[in-house]
Chains A and B, each alone.
Chain A
Amino acid sequence: MEIICCLKQVPDTEAEIRPSADNTAINYEGIKFVINVYDEYAVEEALKIKEKIGAGTVTIVTLGPERAAESIRTGLAMGADKAAHLDDPAFLGSDSYATAKALAAAIKGMPHDLILCGMRAIDDDAFQVGHALAEFLGLPSVMGIVKLELSADKKKATVHRQVEGGVEVLEVPLPAVLGATKGLNEPRYPSLPGIMKAKKKELKPVKVADVGLSTGDVGKQGFKTQVAKFSLPPLRKAGKIVEGGTPEEKAGQLAKLLREEAKVI
């Protein structure tokens, strides 16, 4: 089975995010970058499927700047077999639409029985690339899956999709694009031998022309949405510590404040 994993490199969740001086970009100086957590679930699931079948290839596909290679290596160290890195200045600044377009163009040229991605990237929080990618490839898509089972002939998958108030059980013909969320699995850490082996695995750089696109299709030029300005969220005003000698007094005071001052109960 040929499995593709879409993997994005994003700032660590603990990172302090600040706009650049002119507020048109994010100041990435000094920030630690990691694999998008949801994409870790995707990689883990691909590896589990491959291990279960005992055959196949897991290929990572990433669009991102040079530094993204480090996260790709981590994915290879987890156990993925090879990777394609869409690393061309022309790709940079792509919005969700252009990103999906570029990923689709790259994946079209690769064998694929199953495409796994994350439900969302924790930098732009767009929830878009998986569905748009599927659309461009003419495939079904299910996002937010917490369980995946392949049929015996591997032509279908049964997935559980998380929705408000429950889960949906869906049967999806393959190939399809499936978006992972928390609950699907527990991603493994790269092992030391895994890290050594990863160094020798193929990490293919891909340029815009390699996937049959032109510079106008992707990057800032191919935009459908664009951030005009970043700003910091409004500061919350300093809160009040509720006074009182006993827990009962504090509880009474809190109820009074919420009723009379905040008017929320």
Chain B
Amino acid sequence: MAAIWVYAEHKDGKIKKVAFEILSEAKALAGKSGGPLCAVLIGSGVEGMAAALGSYGAQKVYCVEAADLGAYTTGGYTKALCDLVQQEKPAIVLFGASINGKDLSARVAGRLGVGLATDCTGIGLDDKGRLQVRRPMYAGKVYADVVFSDAAPQMASVRPNVLTLAAPDESRKPEVVKVAAAVKSDDTMVALKEVVKTGGEKVDLTEANIIVSGGRGMKGPEGFQILEELAGVLGGVVGASRAAVDAGWRPQSDQVGQSGKVVTPNLYVACGISGSIQHLAGMGTSKMIVAVNKDPEAPIFKKADYGVVDDLFKIVPAFTQEVKKLQ
């Protein structure tokens, strides 16, 4: 039986958690289809990461390496992955729906002439063993169950923090297959000149377990200090509404919503955010939502699991103290 593949994105020598989440879920699919579950690492010097993929269920790990794959480029990684797919012919290829996961999968689908479903929240198989997925559309206002043509492989990217992570089993050792990619500098098509880091060591919002977000109600950039403190004690990161970003209080990379990031943390704390439809588009699938807003009619309360109607400048510092007491 043809294999199910999971593309394992990595950054700074670490595999993104979403790859482990997909492996955890794809194990069941592989069990159903009877094919092996494999992971694909692309880069240079990636072999050291193979064992971790094995512990989450990958039976085989392809380590695709070339000098020109040291940094991600759409062209270089597309060539490396397409060559391997054409040689090995997997049935299904899954990606994490990160920026680069969405980027790579789109170009690969075009080149291979196969179907791709983006940012899925559920994956399964249809009765013919083809991939079948569920994904939000129209900014999460509806969900679509998507089926594929017979073109193989069927491909999907999966939203981070949605599928359940299984416990790793370190005793499981994967078969490691080293692949020398035939990627030349021409294949990258573009030249990466520089990477300007803006976020420091901050965990990206799309991968954070806890997010404390502020909106126009924060009154100004200084207002966010109390959110930084709360995020600090909770072990979370700070996000923002578009109103706060457009006012110049926070960087664009903090924006949650339709024209910002889609996040799915375990806990989302919205402070001074009204809950516009475009903001909800970015955080509506958070597992737990807390809202702090002085207006009891604010739409955010319709989505919140817990709501506090009061002045956030009083609630947030007091809440930070309460959390400290619990620790």
Interface residues of A (CB under 8 A from B): 11, 13-14, 16-19, 26, 37, 95-97, 100, 122-128, 130-136, 140-144, 146, 158, 160, 162-173, 176, 181-183, 223-233, 236-237, 239-242, 247-248, 250-252, 254-255, 257-259, 262, 264-265
The answer to whether A239 and B145 touch (CB under 8 A), given A127-B102, A233-B136, A265-B267, is: no
Please determine whether A125 and B119 come into contact, CB atoms closer than 8 angstroms: yes
One of A127, A166, A173, A254 near B306 (C-beta < 8 A)? A254
Inter-chain CA distance A112–B131, complex, in Å, is 37
Q: How far is the CB of B158 from chain A (nearest CB, A)?
A: 13
B304 CB–A CB distance under 8 Å: yes
Across the A-B interface, how many residue pairs have beta carbons closer than 8 Å?
261
Least CB distance, B306 to chain A, in whole angstroms: 5
The residues of A that contact B132 with a CB separation of less than 8 Å are 228
Q: Which residues of chain A come closer than 8 Å to B74, judged between CB atoms? A: 131, 140-142
Return chain B residues, CB-CB under 8 Å to A163. Answer: 99-100, 195
Check B290 against A254 for contact (C-beta < 8 Å): yes
CB pair A250–B315 under 8 Å, yes or no, is yes
- Using Cβ atoms and an 8 Å threshold, which residues of chain B touch A169? 192-196
**Is the contact region of chain B dominated by helix, strand, or loop, or is it mixed?**
mixed
The reply to whether A16 and B141 form a contact with Cβ atoms under 8 Å apart is: yes
The bracket for how many chain B residues form the interface is 35 or more
A183 to B260, CA, bound (A): 10
CB <8 Å contact, B98 and A254: no
Q: Assuming A166-B197, A259-B326, A264-B266, is B147 touching A250 (CB within 8 A)? A: no
Given A135-B111, A254-B290: A182 touches B144 (CB 8 Å cut-off)? no
Main secondary structure of the interface of A (DSSP, over half): mixed
B residues near A37, Cβ cutoff 8 Å: 259
A-B contact list, 14 entries, CB within 8 Å? A16-B141, A123-B138, A165-B253, A166-B195, A171-B190, A172-B190, A225-B148, A228-B132, A232-B143, A236-B303, A241-B301, A251-B321, A262-B305, A264-B288
Q: How far is the CA of A147 from the CA of B146 in the complex (A)?
A: 34
- What's the Cα separation between A143 and B106 when bound, in Å? 10
Determine if B308 and A183 form an interchain contact, defined as CB atoms under 8 angstroms apart. no
Question: Which of B29-54 touch A at CB < 8 Å?
Answer: none
User: B119-160 toward A: CB 8 Å interface, digit per residue (1/0)?
Assistant: 100000000000010011111111111111101000000000
Q: How far is the CA of A265 from the CA of B288 in the complex (A)?
A: 11
- The CA of A231 and the CA of B34, in the complex, are separated in Å by 30
Q: Which residue of A lies closest to B259 (CB)?
A: A182
Q: Is the CB of A231 within 8 A of B145?
A: yes
Of chain A, the residue at the smallest CB distance from B126 is A228
Known contacts A131-B107, A251-B322, A264-B288, A168 near B306 by CB under 8 Å: no
Contact B109 A239 (CB under 8 A): no
Q: Is B206 an interface residue (CB 8 A)?
A: yes
Q: Which residue of B lies closest to A123 (CB)?
A: B138
B13 interfacial contact with A, CB 8 Å: no
**Neighbouring A residues of B107 by C-beta, 8 Å:** 131-132, 134-135, 141
Q: Which residues of chain B are near A265, meaning CB under 8 Å?
A: 210, 234, 267, 323, 326
For A259, give the chain B residue with the smallest CB separation.
Answer: B326
B266, chain A: closest CB distance, angstroms: 5
Tell me the smallest distance from the CB of A181 to a CB of chain B, in Å: 8
Cα separation A230 to B285 with both chains bound (whole Å): 17
Partner of A223, one of B75, B149, B210: B149
Q: How far is the CA of A17 from the CA of B116 in the complex (A)?
A: 23
Please determine whether B142 and A19 come into contact, CB atoms closer than 8 angstroms. yes
For the complex formed, measure the closest distance between the CB of B72 and the CB atoms of chain A, giving whole angstroms. Answer: 8
